Each structure stands twice: as C-alpha cells, then as structure tokens.
Homo-oligomer: A and B are copies of this chain.
C-alpha cells in the first residue's frame, strides 16, 4: 500500500459509514433482476437511497438526481444494453462517480465485448472476480476491486488487501453484485475512489464476519448480514477488519 495505511482506511471507512447515514446519498443502480432486492436492502441498511429504473429515457432524470451510479451486467438484457450508455453519459455530464460490475464475462464473448466498451468509458471503479479480471483491459483512471476470499483493491502503485468475511457469502446469490452497489454508495461520500473501494470491500467482509457468527447456513446468513450492515460502526470495523 503506497500512500494509505490500513489504519487510515479503517478510519475513513468508519467516516463513510457515518456519512452514509447522515447524507443518505441517492445511488442509481442499473443491475440484474436477481440482485435487485439484496442490493436495495443493503443500500437501505447502510443509509443510502437506491433507485433502479432501467428505461433509457429515464436515465437523465434518475442518474441526474443521484450521487453515484452502478452499472452491473449480470443477466444483461435489452433495456440495460440501451440504458447503460445513457446512464454513464448522464453521470459523466455531472461528474458523478460510477462503478462497472461485468458479471460472468467469462461465459460470453459478446458480453465481454460490451463490458470492454463500457470499461473504455473510464468508470471510477471496476468490481470483478478472478474469472472476469483477465478478460478485461483496464485504463489508468480506473480503480480495480478484485474480490474473492481475499479482496485486492489496486490503483497504479496503491494496493490493499481485505480478508475475512465468510465462505457462506459464495452460497448467497448476488453478494458480489450487492457489494458493487455498496461501492457506488461509498463513492458518493468518499472522494478518493481507491479509499471508497477499499472501504466498501471492508464493510462487506466485516458484515460477513459478523453475520457468520450467528448464521446457521446461507439462508439465515442473509438477514444476519443485513442486520450487521445496519449496525456497522468504527468499532466493528476495527475489531473485525483484516487489512494488509
């Protein structure tokens, strides 16, 4: 980690948790149908206010009145294909940060091509997994949040790794997608995209660690995870955060 210590990231993540609750930023999420409910509930749990309209013509209204944007390509459909460029243009016209989550590009050459086109527009952060990352070329302005058992957030010479969480997170659909929505929310309250990405991934891992303590399986994990996200504070981040 070149210029931001682990201690500093925990402190700034704690500040973001507080700002999410006081500012209550609007986050527009273009995301897939499986991920919508969990993503909206996670944003509400931490204090952010989600909207998810997908009509291309509505992008100026909805993105223009939001503080950050998520573009998620899971279950890519004709509406999001058309809405994504409109949403990104609306975000860029207002200088809003945005996150790209290129879901399952390893399963479709065509989707990979579409994801690369959007990636070339320069999102603040690319959130992806180890199957997706090698297939995409990332420009110098974009932070990469590579998630897995240990998350690795990287931008130029800055790198931070976040461990913790729970293996149950892989047995709940759309946890990664929900993390991307949380990342967009963090971008709304933290100016440094690298710190925002690290903060969001830290919040996911810590809430996952807290939830795993009471969950009996992947079913009870979900409500426990949302309860933990709602209860997050600096003390929880310090106690459970595992940064390196």
Contact = CB atoms under 8 A, between A and B. Distances in A.
Interface of A: 32-34, 36-38, 40-41, 44-45, 50-55, 57-58, 61-62, 65, 74-79, 104, 107-111, 170-174, 215-231
Given A226-B217, A230-B217, A231-B217, A55 B78 contact: yes
Contacts of A224: 219-220
A102 to B, nearest CB: 13
Contact of A171 (B45, B174, B221): B45
Nearest to A52: B75
Given A53-B108, A217-B223, 11 more contacts: A33-B36, A34-B40, A37-B173, A40-B173, A40-B174, A41-B218, A44-B218, A53-B76, A55-B77, A58-B110, A219-B229
14 contacts: A33-B33, A41-B172, A41-B173, A44-B218, A45-B217, A50-B173, A53-B108, A54-B75, A55-B77, A58-B108, A62-B108, A171-B230, A218-B227, A220-B223
Q: What is the copy number of this chain in the assembly?
A: 3
A17 to B, nearest CB: 14
Contact of A219 (B78, B173, B174, B227): B227
A45 B219 CA distance: 8
Contact of A34 (B52, B104, B230): B52
A190 B74 CA distance: 29
Contacts of A51: 104, 107
Contacts of A58: 76, 108, 110-111
B171 A107 contact: no
Nearest to A56: B78
Contacts of A223: 217, 219-223
Nearest to A60: B108
Contacts of A107: 51, 61-62, 65
A61 B109 CA distance: 8
A31 B18 CA distance: 33
A109 B52 CA distance: 17
Contacts of A104: 51, 53
Contacts of A77: 54-55, 79
